Amino acid sequence: MTRALLIVDVQNDFTEGGALAVAGGDAVASAVTSYLATHAADYDVIVASRDWHDPDNDNGGHFADEPDFVDTWPAHCVAGTAGAEYDELLATDAVTHHVRKGQGKPAYSMFEGVADDGANMAAVLSARSVLSADVVGLATDHCVRATVLDAIAHGVHVRVLTDLVAGVGEESSSAALAEMAHAGAALIESAQAADGPDA
């Protein structure tokens, strides 16, 4: 079974000190790097996504001066800024595809973005016959959730590595994990990931 690792939005603006910091974001970045050091060879495809918002508009109403933190947000991950770059604790040398999303519009799922060659996620995974994906990154209750649900909708068997994600809120993250599990995702820790796609 062809496997992918999907690394969602481990960016400076989503980790400590960023515009929309997630508590534990740096720890996730470091833990994903450690995981890749020993498990990168387990994957045929490794995709990392970044929010990459336009600097000169509100990105389809995504940015707001008085955000509600549900549908509108403070400016974050603006293209070309330090906040949009990967967290420095995340090693990206094993990444095979870099995806940018939210260019002028709201976007949460990695599947709403495009790779450097212009291909969307569905095309990237289909071209490599990916049937199974492990998902890690930020934030559990927003972009991880959206990515997992879209992957399942595209017929991919998904495992969420629960020790390699962090969310904005404890209750909303628990609810998101429950929703992902209900949709068919397996919730496991990274130590179990080497046991195979059906662990």
Residues 6+ apart with CB under 8 A from 135: 5, 6, 8, 144, 147, 148, 151, 158, 159, 160, 161, 165, 185
Give the whole-angstrom CA distance, residue 90 versus residue 40: 13
Q: Is 76 left (phi over 0), alpha (psi -120 to 50) or beta?
A: beta
Q: Count CB atoms within 10 A of the CB of residue 51.
A: 27
Residue with the two structure tokens 């179990």? 192
Active-site annotation, residues: 9, 101, 143
Give the whole-angstrom CA distance, residue 28 versus residue 47: 16
Strand partners, 170: none
